[in-house]
Structure 1
Amino acid sequence: MAHTVSRRSVLAGAVAGAVTGTAWPGAASAAQRSADAEVTAVTGVTVIDAADGTRRDQNVLVRDGRIMDVGHLHRVPVPRGARVVTGHGKFLIPGLADMHTHATEIDPTDPEMYVVNGVTTTRQMSSSEAVRGWRREIEAGARLGPRWTVGSAIVDGSPSLWEGLGAPYVSVADAAQARTAVRRQRKAGADFIKTYTRLSRGSFHAIAAESRRLGIPFAGHVPDLVPVTEASNAGLASIEHLFEFWYDTSRDEERLRREIARVRVDGGDYAGWMTKTHPLEYAAARTYDPGKARRVFERLARNGTRVTPTLTVHRTADVPQDVAHDDPRFRYVSADTLAYWQWTTENIYLKGRTARESEERRELFGLRGMLAGALAEAGVPLMTGTDLGTSYLLPGFGLHDELELLVQAGLSPAQALRAATLEPARFLGHSDAGTIARGNVADLVLLEADPLRDIRNTTRINSVFVRGRLIDSDGRRRMLAEIEAVADRPVTGDIPAAAGCACHGGRLRG
């Protein structure tokens, strides 16, 4: 469901205009196309990627959107006339990826907010005409933004948790409807099929079979009635969030699955689903069996099933009372977005929650960190994702929060960076991305400090290359200032009646 808000036209006149005055204009003018043909050299930098580790004293040459060469400064000379970016004392990493987003049009600055934070790849986990429009503008050179993969409408069971909540969804009651939904979503242009929570077991397997037949990936939630290993064996490309793992890894799995099968939720009652399933999820987490977990994780690793833990959104859902409402980064979003976040917190996460449930959810969030660390230790390939569109999650900024949470969960900084670079590139079939190598797309982030010493150093961004186009430190400051100015401007058109995350969404006040 696409909604148009006037901020989009405001952005076109403000952010794009401001970016034109920076080192990397939003529109590809004749002068910029000429500049693209020239070489930009990052000199004497320490290069870090998941394939080759740490390489010191490197020169990295960029031309025509690609890495022309990379190597020791004594081997790779800087061509005469090249634009030089001094990398001495700095660290160069591949562009980052947010593999779980639900961008909306409440604020239309998502593309710019991503790249100014070094996020050059994103995966939209639900259908979005807005994002498809942004993608066309980005590919045409009319604005800056990441490479975007866009999924189908949510394919959920019947009744669907999404009835009346505004997100694009398809409700399927049986296998035949499920197969039809796959065909229609593929024809509509989806890059992959998004599965959801209330699918029946038969419908889920019909989606798997039809997706294989048509050659389109399917990814998303593991439905309540489908074991994680069964979903992995069926070909689910990536598992989103850490909800369903507890049942497969519980000593009490058989009883808990009988209880899950008895849960009934009315259409659109997302808060009711969270309330009814919480005691079961909590009981499963408290009966975690490391031996069972090891076997489950080994299966996922053998199958190559990716997991996107989205610890950022689990924090928002489990302990919303801990989320700071005065984060200075919130100046980059509008009052409308802040109001939506508050509504969702009150009406989805905290609705009907008792003090006891709050205590249990705090414990559960800690256990989710343990689970993410155990998955990584077992060799399950992880990917970073934030669930943008959920309360208090910001485009680009949230990806750095996710990296920090993954390291707190037990991943090394190198493992966390791999989850944000190489694994997403491999998953998406981008053989020319995710590492810093000759011929690869020049999506790069220049940092002021070593992220392997402290993962929070990924926020200390000096410059960003987006497909070879440089946003230097002055350009970043100007872009952020313009995004803030756009967020401050009053809306002159309609605000969406319902918008937000297509995983844990809600309705804006009318």
Structure 2
Amino acid sequence: MQRRTILTGTALGVTSAAFGLSRPAQAARSGPATRDVVAIRGVTVVDAVGGARRGQTVLIRGDRILDAGPAHQVPVPPGATIVDGAGKYLIPGLADMHTHATGIDDTDPELYVVNGVTTTRQMSGSPEARDWQQQIAGGARIGPQWSIGSRIVDGSPSLWDGLDVDGSIHVAVADPVQARAAVRQEHATGVAFIKTYTRLTRESFVAITDECGKLGLPFLGHVPDFVELTEASDRGIRTIEHLFEIWYDTSAEENRLRRGVASVPIGSGDYNGWFNRMQPYEYAAARSYDRRKAEKVFRRVARNGTFVTPTLVLHESNDMPERIDRHDPRYKYFSADMIGYWDWALDNLYLPGRTPAQIAQSEDLFRRRLSLTADLAAAGVPLLAGTDLGTTYLMPGFSLHDELALLVRAGLKPIQALAAATLNPARYLGRRDLGVVARGAVADLVLLDADPLHDIRNTTRINSVFVRGRLIDQAQRQRMLADIEATVGQVRESAPVAYRGCPCHGPAQSIAVAS
């Protein structure tokens, strides 16, 4: 893939102030304790634990919820700042649990929070994400809490060889000894988890699971081509990313298809060659889906506490590139380089060579993915909302709302989709103080102008956002969006610097792939 370039927002001196945050919103509040309190009064609280509760008062002090409950039980202290919640709906801050920093535009943190996304998970290490994390922690800018994983740990030869030119995204391991060493090396850098990948041998994967167990380090990611989904779950994989690997364990023709998958040749950096050669096996597995077998597999996965991140927005763009909207009004918040990269990939990588039969097949495959997601949920497998940001046409924050809509389209109830972006991420992270609107919880909150349980698309009807207690009210949010638009407009006219994006594309007849 061509390496594209852009001047980042950091080079332009981007800070929280540049994105419309007033000074009081950034500074710690002072004065009497009651003056430090923000009270959201008369609001309908919606979370996956208590459902919808009308006529609530929520008190916030510092970065925590001081109290929450019916208005007659939670008095507003004198001197508190009042936010009128009448006719509005308060949900926990949202989480995007599968992201990759592209390095093209430096506006991801702010785009997340204006969209109500207050937690993100970075899936392939990233100097950019680590920089953002430090800037946010230091108060230089506002953004989500970041869980940052290891570099991708893949087999050797790796799908990433030659694409990840400086080794910042992946490490290739040829055997169990190298696999264990890679885990120890990544652990020493302070990563939150080890990310496993597609071409690991079974022996190397087992070594990773064992070494992670010794270190108390979670491992998660792709189930390798040579490992059964159930074995990965039994060995403790924390989350399974995407739906690609799930078909084989649930196929009536599993043995035959696994022999075919094992025979697929691969060379260094042959990402899209692998993807194209795997696609017929994936579709055959999807068409031979055995619902009774699947139910047994999914209940086993659920008992193990394994989470699944479907990333339906990724699959939708991969499976149906013809339906991508090139004129989405949200694109005004992205630079010409970002949009140019997306358009270039669509014209040169996604669309060429697709026949009517292939288009029909991929549309059918996406419909089956939606049904698969519903079956996972029905079996009790906890789902996580994630987008695979870094893939073409996926947008920080905005695409998370698209994912919620697709989860409901798949058959989930709005409250289940909301749980996938709030309560389930908190449980994955081992946090009782996230993903709920309750006393003592972190004050990551989104105030909506319409009911998300009536229509999940109402999660986009954002009035205000609280980011660890910092209020971004409606006016500030609009200023932030306007400043982001102006900033990427400046970038369009600026001198370039190196782009460190996701090099996931290959020959002209390839389809975009997931990382």
Identity of aligned residues (%): 57
Check the 8 A contact 1:165/1:498 in 2, yes or no: no
Q: CA deviation at 1:92?
A: 0.4
- Greater CA drift, 492-501 or 196-205: 492-501
Describe the superposition over 1:305-362 as per-residue Cα deviations: whole angstroms up to 9, x where unpaired: 0000000000111111111010000010111111222333345444554442222111
The answer as to whether partners of 1:14 and 1:482 remain within 8 angstroms in 2 is: no
Q: Relative to structure 1, is the Cα distance of residues 505 and 64 closer, same or farther in structure 2, using a 3 angstrom cutoff?
A: farther
Aligned to 1:430: 431
State the match for 2:49 in structure 1.
51
**Paired residue type of 2:390:** G
Supply the AA of the counterpart residue of 2:58: V
User: How far is the alpha carbon of 1:273 from its aligned partner?
Assistant: 1.3
Q: Which residue identity is paired with 1:285? A: A
Deviation at 1:494, TM superposition (A): 3.2
Partner of 1:265: 266
Distance 1:355 1:286 in 2: 19
Measured after TM superposition, the shift of residue 429 of structure 1 is 1.4
TM-fit CA distance, 1:19: 2.4
- CA drift at 1:159: 1.1
> Residues 306, 67 of structure 1: CA spacing in aligned structure 2 closer, same or farther, 3 A cutoff?
same
Distance in structure 1 (CA, Å) of the matches to 2:59 and 2:499: 48
CA distance in 2, matches of 1:460, 1:506: 38
Q: Is 1:94 aligned to 2:88, yes or no? A: no
Which whole-Å deviations, capped at 9, do the CAs of 1:377-431 have from their partners, x for residues lacking one?
1110000000001010110001000000000000000000011100000101122
Amino acid in structure 1 at the alignment position of 2:297: V
| Distance in 2, Cα, partners of 1:78 & 1:22 | 25
What secondary structure does 1:84 align onto?
Answer: strand
1:249 alignment partner in structure 2: 250
Which stretch shows the higher mean deviation, 261-270 or 251-260? 261-270
Q: Does 1:500 align with 2:502?
A: yes
Q: Could you say which residue in structure 2 is the equivalent of 1:153?
A: 151
Structure 2 unaligned segments of length 5 or more: list them: 508-515
Which residue in 1 is equivalent to 2:106? Answer: 108
SS at match of 1:484: helix
| Alignment deviations for residues 195-248 of structure 1 (CA, whole Å, 9 cap, x no partner) | 011111111111111111111100101111111111101111000000011111
Count residues in correspondence.
Answer: 500
SS in 2 for 1:499: coil
Query: Which of residues 120, 123, 134 in structure 2 aligns to 1:122?
Result: 120
2:510 equivalent in structure 1: none
Contact residue 106 and residue 495 of structure 1 kept, 8 A: no
Counterparts of 2:137 and 2:502, CA distance in 1: 25
Aligned pairs (5 A) from 1:334-373:
334-350=335-351, 353-373=354-374
Tell whether the 8 Å contact from 2:42 to 2:57 is kept in structure 1 after alignment: yes
Q: AA paired with 1:73?
A: A
Partner in structure 2 of residue 331 of structure 1:
332
Partners of 2:301 and 2:501 in 1: CA distance: 33
Other-structure match for 1:410: 411
SS of residue matched to 2:9: helix
Is the partner of 2:13 in helix, strand or coil? helix
Contact map agreement 2:385 2:420 (CA 8 A) in 1: yes
One-letter identity of the residue aligned with 2:60:
V
Distance 1:127 1:250 in 2: 33
More displaced, 261-270 or 61-70? 261-270
Corresponding position: 1:220 with 2:227: no
TM-score, scaled relative to structure 2: 0.93
For residues 302-321 of structure 1, what are the structure 2 equivalents within 5 Å? 302-321=303-322
In structure 1, runs of 5+ residues without a counterpart are: none
Question: 2:216 and 2:387 mapped to 1: Cα distance?
Answer: 27
Q: Deviations over 1:244-267 (max 9, x none)?
A: 111111110000000001001222
Q: SS at 1:7's partner residue?
A: coil
1:271–1:348 contact (8 Å) kept in structure 2: no
